[in-house]
Structure 1
Amino acid sequence: MSQRVARALPALTRSHRKMADYVLHHPFKVATMAIDELAATLGVSVATANRFARALGFDGYPQFRAALVMGFESALAPVEKLRSRVGSPASAADVFADSFASIQRNIDQTQKSLDAQACEQAVAAILKAKRIGIIGFGASTWLGGLLQRGLDPLCGNVQLLATIEGSSAAARVISRMQPTDLLIAIGFPRYAADTVFLAQRACEAGVPVLALTDRVTSPLARLATVSLYAYTDSNYFSNCEASALALAEALCSAVAHRTQGSISAATQLAETLLPWIYGSPDGLRSLPGGATAASRKKKAPRKRAAGDKG
């Protein structure tokens, strides 16, 4: 685009030069704009915006914008999908129904595409690992946290590496990982560069990598020892998190089924949580104020006797 602007610059009008300067300084922003939005932003007419596109050698604004989008495809895909959906009238109930239908399709496609051998390899890798590190940035951080929560009672050492310290903290942990460990890398479009980079470092160090991602062309799939795939198409967001979460939960379920002592671990966890479960005999929050009847009785002040100066 900069080359086209440079070639056309001598013949551009003052308004077109203003547009050219804005495009060169804000290419991503312009790539998200319809022609009327760009015209309003720069205070020119829609016709002027169209003539600007033709002055750069395009047939019109749609072709100019399509060329500008090239290179930003993955980043702009959710924006384009949202633009098309918002432009169609729909009630809130319609959007709810469409969202649920989309989630169901994604989960159905994820289930149908499961590779039995990959499932076995993923479970075996988790059970074999001395310690497990989980990385995923952006929305995948939440998925990683839920995966860590599911695996923690079943495995000896499971650590979520995507913390408030950022990717540098994860890099320090990965640098100490061994081939006897396992790195679980979670990434969906738009793939976080930090996740791919750290998975690459682990791969180079001989650390097995289990990828939870969306397709065989994912940058994580080429680094992984084994990959599990979830369909994550969404009309409103970059990904459907529900199907990715379903895949993570299914993985935890398979590990629980295969883990020796999973029942005793679940029993011990339930017993540990009793004081924090509302309505249980030991529930700390069974009564208003967060205290059990017994503890409140103990803390009840004694009545002051006559002449008591206490």
Structure 2
Amino acid sequence: MDQTPPPGPADGDLGTRIQLRYGALRKSERIVADYLREHAGERINFSITDFAQILGVSEATISRVSRALGYSGYPDLKLSMAQNSGTQSMIPNIPQEIDKSDSLIASSAKLANLLAQSILGTQRLLDAHRLEACVEAIGSARRVILVGVGGGAAICEETAHLFIKAGIDAYAYNDSYTQIIAAANIYSDCAMIGISHTGTTSGVANALTLAREKGAKTIAITSDPSSAVARAAEILLTTWNASTPSVPLHGDFLEGRISQLFLIDLIYIGLLFQGDGERGEHLKMTTRALERYYRATD
């Protein structure tokens, strides 16, 4: 029985089509899709036979992927890539779907779609048991320590800000030196959350490893489940890995950050609904205090 995914959208650039259909592709088909999105904006001159040999897949696999992406076949896919060669943005970590010739309003529509897809992709990757375990670990922790660098550090700061409002003792550290100090002095009834889009941040992985050795609950939020950061933690939450290959230390990765914020907000909601509503009371106390000292006056 043919289990080829139904054709994708009949329009949209290659990156968007791959992003929309990637989750439905088989393992061998993802090899083709990965090559195509890594070479989006380039002209492909291989015959289907040569292309299949290069990737180590069958010609039928390439044909199935072409149809799944909304093309009539491999020749149509090649033609589309040739017509669009050289038009995509070459700036690392900027979605390839956004072209420098686009108006800002056109870019806004593409970006909104990409960010929405990143959230939906992350939601599809959620494991209910891991999510519940994450909320339980944070909710029962005496102290929560968040570690990340760069853009991940910004997410850690935002998370600590949310948690403190709800009466959770939370701290964010953004440099490897302090992260190791915090991990070395963590207690077994505490929790550490490491945030890294690529999962390659060695300082975050090291801090999680040390905290886990100390008996603390450890949680990783990353897009790469095989990465060092993912392997270092006891509980893993995986974010969507979008179509643009990320370049570490080269700017930020918007889709990754949005996916991380989505997970943090989801965890926060779970924490607020947990137990007897004590955290809701903390929020009310926070609101009253802020109104008392920071209410705008005429």
| TM-aligned CA distance change 1:97 to 1:154, over 3 Å | same
| TM-aligned CA distance change 1:85 to 1:111, over 3 Å | closer
| TM-aligned CA distance change 1:109 to 1:130, over 3 Å | same
Aligned partner of 2:101 in structure 1 is 89
Do structure 1's residue 136 and structure 2's residue 148 form an aligned pair?
yes
2:224–2:230 contact (8 Å) kept in structure 1: yes
Aligned partner of 2:192 in structure 1 is 183
Q: TM-score, normalised by structure 1?
A: 0.59
For residues 172 and 93 of structure 2, what CA distance do their matches in structure 1 show?
32
Do structure 1's residue 125 and structure 2's residue 137 form an aligned pair?
yes
Aligned partner of 2:288 in structure 1 is 271
Do structure 1's residue 204 and structure 2's residue 175 form an aligned pair?
no
Do structure 1's residue 111 and structure 2's residue 128 form an aligned pair?
no
Aligned partner of 2:267 in structure 1 is 251
- CA deviation vs aligned residue, 1:24-72 (integer Å, no higher than 9, x gap): xxxxxxxxxxxxxxxxxxxxxxxxxxxxxxxxxxxxxxxxxxxxxxxxx
| TM-aligned CA distance change 1:83 to 1:233, over 3 Å | closer
| TM-aligned CA distance change 1:222 to 1:85, over 3 Å | same
1:127–1:155 contact (8 Å) kept in structure 2: no
1:135–1:144 contact (8 Å) kept in structure 2: yes
SS at match of 2:225: coil
- CA deviation vs aligned residue, 1:189-244 (integer Å, no higher than 9, x gap): 27322112222222233322111111322322211111112215265953421221
- How many positions carry a matched residue from both structures? 201
| TM-aligned CA distance change 1:205 to 1:125, over 3 Å | same
1:127–1:259 contact (8 Å) kept in structure 2: no
User: Following TM superposition, where does structure 1 have runs of at least 4 consecutive aligned residues deviating by more than 4 angstroms?
Assistant: 78-88, 234-237
Mind listing any 5+ residue stretches in structure 2 that lack a counterpart?
A: 1-89, 247-251
For residues 226 and 163 of structure 2, what CA distance do their matches in structure 1 show?
27
| TM-aligned CA distance change 1:273 to 1:177, over 3 Å | same
Q: Which fold has the larger relative contact order, with Cα–Cα distance below 8 Å and residues 6 or more apart in sequence?
A: 2
Shift of 1:96: 0.9
Q: TM-score, normalised by structure 2?
A: 0.61
Mapping for residues 154-193 of structure 1, pairs under 5 Å: 154-162=166-174, 166-189=175-198, 191-193=200-202
The one-letter code of the counterpart of 1:269 is T
Do structure 1's residue 222 and structure 2's residue 231 form an aligned pair?
yes
Once the two structures are overlaid, the 10-residue window that deviates more, 81-90 or 103-112, is 81-90
SS at match of 1:265: helix
Shift of 1:80: 5.0
Mind listing any 5+ residue stretches in structure 1 that lack a counterpart?
A: 1-77, 278-282, 288-310
- CA deviation vs aligned residue, 1:269-306 (integer Å, no higher than 9, x gap): 111011355xxxxx3x321xxxxxxxxxxxxxxxxxxx
2:193–2:220 contact (8 Å) kept in structure 1: yes
